Structure 1
């Protein structure tokens, strides 16, 4: 038996050597077909996808841009047609982001460690506008902001529409060394994250009324309507500043009695007058423990922030005026929120329900296990479950079923007509009903 096994191993080694020689001498190369066979996978959502396409690798992000699909990798960018997944163009850019919506949408691309960016047509890849000086770019549904700094250290923030028209420019001081590439983090609010759904599934959000630029411990606050520097906020010891809902939120955390005590004050620049304040409101800017170090921004939308009251019950607050939009019962948990709706997991952990923040009413309710995750987009509520693997899309306002598919793929993007799912190197378009 041993000699027989050795003989078969010898035959196999000889065959491999022969194939390598044939491939290197360009006589016959079987490896592309072999790897294609190895990489061939089954359908992402059998019977539910409009198309499925093998892409160039594991994507960093995927975005539906009008009638195109933008796929960003670590060192390149590709675009495919939304109708049939025909490859439209490719670029060796290191990063890409989408600004605008509908027919006004554009793709912004750039290189790491290099100033400047390009604004390109999402369907043709043609360059509409090129910049050679900006160090950081922020892309929104309603426009583009870029930051450029001179040799003396002074920086300038510029607002653009997606057609390349300048709206305003404002001097911000010397802050550019900490901000680069696409959409660097600002002191604002962060969306809640969900397993099985990409963090950026909702696409670009509207440009906020105020943006805060970090500057060596301070925050320079810019009014995006007028293009004016309206405040330079200087948080004190134990404080953190976040800009949301057109207000500057100063969160104070105090360590005492082995725990943290929180307070929030919302002010209105440029006068800085207090609009609202709450003692005991925890915006979850600090981790667990008694150190009270605030190292994260509040969760929420542009004008809605998620907090916890002194007895541990979650609540949603309007940042611009401090109104309590929803106060949860014991054990209820917000799993997704934007400025219009929230998705709440019941205390029984077996149901999800939609909540309209305009009137506080439940818009839909659905059985879902404790492992279900959810995300809110402008077009649908996405719910992903495991065991069984399933993705559901619902209307946020009515709960109408828009899609229900059996898949373990991750949902990366949504558009008016459907969503993009990715599994490994395969991408599929799952249309809404």
Structure 2
């Protein structure tokens, strides 16, 4: 009897199989589907920061870049771009795209998107995803806070560079270029300017779009074409010498020479006014880290940011140089290391590697100092100075002027984007938003308003009071149009 009863029952495994088949049938017929809820429970996100963030969301793919654009967060991924609400993190829209870049100010941003190996691009509203302007011929796009440039080529040696207001529908100016780099270049191809310092766990584009420089250097077939971004005039068409590297920085054309002699490299910098070709300033013996010491061949752009350069003096001390007039804005002590720089401030690691010092370039004085490990990295943005620490892993944002803490996060995530009131951090596919502390919002830089206007007798403006305008007053203009 017991043998018959035992053999006739389904047993635990049998009932489990029947239950699984029943659930599959119910899910397939749409009556009841528990699988999404079960998967959400298994795949739930762990907080990526302490203290917790305003919001944390998982995006469709690993972000290539993240930018705060007004009230939206633009997340560029490998084959698509999506926008999320800055306030809540909810998805606003999504598009298939191979690249995306934000242009415009915090108040009036736009998003340029396009496909690789396909000409043209679309300009989208960051909040709605609505197309504001469409182009079907451009092969490259450069995005700035106060301008958008694109280039199209009728023939390989017949190209037109066009400047636009980010939200405008009519070109501001057009300029002829005898070609561009070969192929379709997508967004923000490299031009001949400064090479940014980088730091672990801080994205290289964390600061978002910058104001368009007064001059841009376009490399074409071994020559450099210098374009005035206020008027579209091509001021110079220069062939570098055998030992030269050219860079366009701070409204000047820099001719950097590296000569191999006596087993070392001898450096010289000559800065010229592109409008006249005359030398404006010269410095010798300063190494801008353009050469790799293999025959002193210069393969890199000089280190720096916007209108300033970082050089190494013959005695090994680092210096920050004004690209416009060659002034030494900062000379470090022996053993000190510049880890971040812009037109207003610099972050310096102390010689004993126990602290990071914030310095104001306009007066070359210490603005603040805080303890930090020897491997800590940093970055400067218009709204905050960032410090990434290890052991323990932390991300710290401070006011670049005073050193006042805006937020301190215990996290191994990366700093992806900084805005006026907070920043986006991310780890893998998880991203989240943290606000600055109560009352800690940093005043934004002066609104650039448009493409820089030319000075009366030059392509660039003579510096005076720097303040928040930057060393070259590129963010401020006087009433007389200077």
TM-score normalised by the chain length of structure 1: 0.92
**TM alignment of 1:13-412, pairs within 5 A:** 32=36, 35-151=39-155, 153-164=157-168, 165-177=170-182, 180-287=185-292, 289-412=293-416
26-35 or 367-376: bigger deviation: 26-35
Q: If each structure's strand is expressed as a fraction of its own residues, which one has the higher value?
A: 1
CA–CA distance in 2 between the matches of 1:13 and 1:290? 70
The Cα offsets for residues 1-50 of structure 1, whole Å up to 9 and x where unpaired, read as: xxxxxxxxxxx999999999998999997765565445433211233411
Supply the distance in 2 between the matched residues of 1:107 and 1:71 (Cα, whole angstroms): 11
CA contact (8 A) 1:155 1:176 kept: no
8 Å contact kept, 1:218–1:233: yes
Residue 151 of structure 1: how far off its partner (Å): 3.0
> How many equivalent pairs are there?
424
- Does structure 1 retain, via aligned residues, the 8 Å contact 2:414–2:425? yes
Q: Could you say which residue in structure 2 is the equivalent of 1:420?
A: 424
Q: Which stretch shifts more, 34-43 or 264-273?
A: 34-43
CA deviation after TM superposition for structure 1 residue 308, in Å: 0.5
State which drifts further: 206-215 or 250-259: 250-259
Q: CA RMSD in A?
A: 2.4
Judge which range, 252-261 or 358-367, deviates more.
252-261
CA distance 1:115–1:329, shift in 2 (3 Å): same
Structure 1 runs (4+) deviating above 3 angstroms are 12-39
1:368-411 superposed Cα distances (whole Å, 9 cap, x missing partner): 00111111000000111111111111111111111111111101
Farther-moved stretch of structure 1 (83-92 vs 160-169): 160-169
Asked if the contact 2:116/2:184 (under 8 Å) is kept, the reply is no
Distance 1:278 1:178 in 2: 37
Equivalent pair of 1:148/1:176 in contact (CA under 8 Å) = no
The change in CA–CA distance for 1:264 and 1:39 in structure 2 (over 3 A counts) is farther
Q: Distance in 2 between matches of 1:13 and 1:286?
A: 69
**Structure 1 position 153, deviation (Å):** 2.9
Contact 2:119/2:184, CA 8 A, preserved across alignment: no
Instruction: Tell me the TM-score normalised to structure 2 length.
Output: 0.83
CA distance in 2 between partners of 1:178 and 1:298 (Å)? 26
Distance 1:88-1:117 versus aligned 2 partners, 3 A rule: same
Once residues 39 and 246 of structure 1 are traced to their aligned partners in structure 2, the CA distance between those partners, rounded to angstroms, is 52
- Which of the pair has more CA radius of gyration? 2
- 1:78, 1:26 → 2: CA distance? 30
SS at match of 2:182: helix
Shift of 1:174: 2.1
C-alpha separation in 2, matches of 1:109 and 1:17: 46
Secondary structure of the residue that 1:104 maps to in structure 2?
A: coil
Would the aligned equivalents of 1:355 and 1:363 in 2 still touch at CA under 8 Å? yes
Structure 2 residue runs of 5 or longer lacking an equivalent are 1-15, 438-482
CA distance in 2: counterparts of 1:14 and 1:278, whole angstroms: 84
CA shift in 2, pair 1:169/1:20, >3 Å = same
Distance 1:15 1:216 in 2: 70
Alignment partners' CA distance in 2, 1:24 and 1:236:
72
Gaps of 5+ in 1: 1-11
Q: Give the match for residue 7 of structure 1.
A: none
Q: Is the 2:287–2:311 Cα contact (8 Å) retained in structure 1? A: yes
Is contact 1:255-1:290 (8 Å) kept?
no
Residues 349, 357 of structure 2: 8 Å contact kept: yes
Equivalent residue number for residue 8 of structure 1: none
Provide closer, same or farther for how the CA distance between residues 246 and 20 of structure 1 changes in structure 2, counting only shifts above 3 A: farther
CA distance in 2, matches of 1:171, 1:15: 72
1: CA distance, partners of 2:192 / 2:17? 60
The whole-number CA distance in structure 1 between the counterparts of 2:17 and 2:392 is 43
Is contact 1:238–1:253 with CA below 8 Å preserved after alignment? yes
Say if 1:259 and 1:290, in contact at 8 Å, map to a contact too. Answer: no
Q: 1:330 to 1:154 in 2, by over 3 A?
A: same
